[in-house]
């Protein structure tokens, strides 16, 4: 992997982790275009580094909310912070359950399955279109909502289904305030990212005799900086109901990916 490819992967991860266009789907498309000749473990290490960068950008932007979550967990008082912490935990459970029990089956979908990725991008486009047309209300996230949004996050493990797109769209369709929906969507994924990173590190599969730290550093920095911009931008876009543009983008890329996978192009 060259430094340019590392920077490109960082740019894509940083943008697509927050923008509703599927980071996993775009990473698979980039690998398909460039040809993924690297060792699987090296690819996994870069993936962990890029996700660490976007997790850090989320922590930086929502540092006040994250501090409140920790306060709620450790104070053990039935206040708003503790209730919100419980909702975050509930939202994590479906994705954690699916990720642990179906890890091997899911990994098979991340092996140049371009037609599948394209199909899921079209599903993302449909979700975003309907969410943008939904009426805005002032509902807060309830415990029931947390579980439903968590289920949508579990489905978004599939490459091509945007995690932020699925969770925000689900929230908006449930009638949750758009700003609160974006905030909850970005906060609920941080524990899962950190948990997945810890699992990968403890598994020992990432240990390599030779690691290109410069490429990892480039990928991390680019992913972190673009993540900061994309997260802030996405919150504003959700407020202004501008998701239709991303729906059109996902539809176009999805169709192109399907045609490329079927050797029609």
**Angle (CA) 46 50 102, round 5°:** 75
Quick: pLDDT tens for 10-25: 898 888 888 999 888 8
The predicted pLDDT at position 224 comes to 95
Does the structure show a pLDDT above 50 at 42? no
Number of domains in the chain: 1
What pLDDT is recorded for position 112? 72
Question: What is the pLDDT, as a whole number, of residue 209?
Answer: 44
Other CB atoms closer than 10 Å to residue 191's CB: what's the count? Answer: 18
Instruction: Classify residue 108: in a domain, yes or no.
Output: no
> Is residue 196, in this structure, part of any structural domain at all?
yes
Would you say residue 248 lies in a domain? Answer: yes
Q: Look-up: residue for tokens 């029609």?
A: 264
Per residue in 121-133, pLDDT tens?
999 999 999 998 8
Section 166-188 average pLDDT:
91
**Is residue 164 a part of any domain in this protein?**
yes
Alpha-carbon separation of residue 57 from 8, 95, 214, 264 (angstroms): 18, 21, 20, 39
Mean of pLDDT over the chain: 85
Neighbour-count burial for 226-256, b at 16+ CB within 10 Å, e otherwise: bbbebbeebbebbeeeebeebbebbbebbeb
Domain containing residue 145:
3-103+114-261
pLDDT, tens only, 181-236: 988 999 988 888 888 777 777 766 656 545 678 888 999 999 999 999 999 998 88
Whether 109 maps to a domain, the answer reads: no
Residue 31 vs residue 249, higher pLDDT: 249
Contacts 24+ apart (CB under 8 A), 195-202: 195/96, 196/51, 196/99, 197/48, 197/51, 197/52, 197/55, 200/44, 200/48, 201/48
- Least confident among 161-175, 182-196, 219-233, 243-257: 182-196
Q: What is the mean pLDDT of residues 240-248?
A: 87
Q: What is the pLDDT of residue 208?
A: 54
Q: Is 104 within 8 Å of 219 (Cβ atoms)? A: no
Query: Is residue 245 in some structural domain?
Result: yes
Whether residue 208 is contained in a domain is answered as yes
Reading the block at residue 38, the tokens are 């690297």
| pLDDT tier at 259, thresholds 50, 70, 90 | very high
Higher pLDDT, 112 or 217: 217
Express each pLDDT in 63-93 by its tens digit: 988 888 777 777 777 778 888 889 999 999 9
Has residue 21 been placed in a domain? yes
Distances (CA, A) of 60 to 53, 56, 63, 114: 11, 6, 5, 34
């Amino acid at each position: 992997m060259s430094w340019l490819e590392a920077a490109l992967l960082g740019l894509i991860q940083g943008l697509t982790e927050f923008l509703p266009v599927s980071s996993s789907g775009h990473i698979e498309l980039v690998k398909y275009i460039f040809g993924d000749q690297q060792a699987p473990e090296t690819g996994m290490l870069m993936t962990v580094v890029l996700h660490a960068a976007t997790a850090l950008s989320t922590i930086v932007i929502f540092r006040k909310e994250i501090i409140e979550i920790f306060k709620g967990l450790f104070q053990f008082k039935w206040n708003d912070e503790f209730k919100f912490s419980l909702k975050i935990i509930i939202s994590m459970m479906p994705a954690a359950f699916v990720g642990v029990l179906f890890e091997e089956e899911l990994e098979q979908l991340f092996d140049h399955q371009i037609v599948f990725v394209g199909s899921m991008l079209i599903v993302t486009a449909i979700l975003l279109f309907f969410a943008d047309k939904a009426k805005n209300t002032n509902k807060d996230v309830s415990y029931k909502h947390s579980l439903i949004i968590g289920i949508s996050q579990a489905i978004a493990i599939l490459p091509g289904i945007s995690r932020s797109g699925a969770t925000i769209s689900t929230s908006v369709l449930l009638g949750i305030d758009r700003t609160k929906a974006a905030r909850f969507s970005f906060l609920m994924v941080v524990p899962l990212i950190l948990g997945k990173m810890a699992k990968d590190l403890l598994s020992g599969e990432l240990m390599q005799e030779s690691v290109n730290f410069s490429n990892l550093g480039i990928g991390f920095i680019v992913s972190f900086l673009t993540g900061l911009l994309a997260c802030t931008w996405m919150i504003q876009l959700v407020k202004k109901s501008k998701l239709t543009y991303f729906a059109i983008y996902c539809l176009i890329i999805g169709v192109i990916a399907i045609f490329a996978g079927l050797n029609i192009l």
